[in-house]
Amino acid sequence: MKPLTTMAVGAVVLALGYGAADAQNGRAIRQDRQDIRQDRRELGGDRRELNQGVRTGRTSEVKQDRRELAGDRRDLRQDVQDRNADHRDLRQDQRDLARDERNR
């Protein structure tokens, strides 16, 4: 193979590899987004149960439930931050790939 042809084939393979990786990262971000939505729904249900517990007078259980809810909210907040960081990384990778392709 001629050097220029080899270089072109290598560039195409590299671009396809980046494209496949970007697609996988996009799927992972989409799945994270769905998981976060589900967690928010579950937290909403937990808050409703907590309010019912307050109304019925189960104070000791309510205190424990409040602590668990606070932990769940922290976990959810961390998940959102991780998803946002992944999304930023994906966009940066896409910009880098586009710039690399323009410079060829």
Number of domain units in the chain: 1
Summarize the confidence of residues 74-101 as an average pLDDT. 91
- Residue 104 placed within a domain: no
Which pLDDT score, from 0 to 100, does residue 78 have? 93
pTM given for the model? 0.60
Side-chain-facing half-sphere of 29: CA atoms under 13 Å = 16
81 pLDDT above the threshold of 90 = yes
Q: Mean pLDDT, the chain, as a whole number?
A: 80
H helix count then E strand count, the chain: 2, 0
* Domain interval for residue 81: 3-97
Q: What angle do CA 88, 19, 2 make, to 5 degrees?
A: 135
pLDDT digits (tens, 9 = 90+) for 12-32: 555 545 555 555 677 888 888
Residue 102 belongs to some domain of the structure: no
Q: Does residue 103 lie in a domain region?
A: no
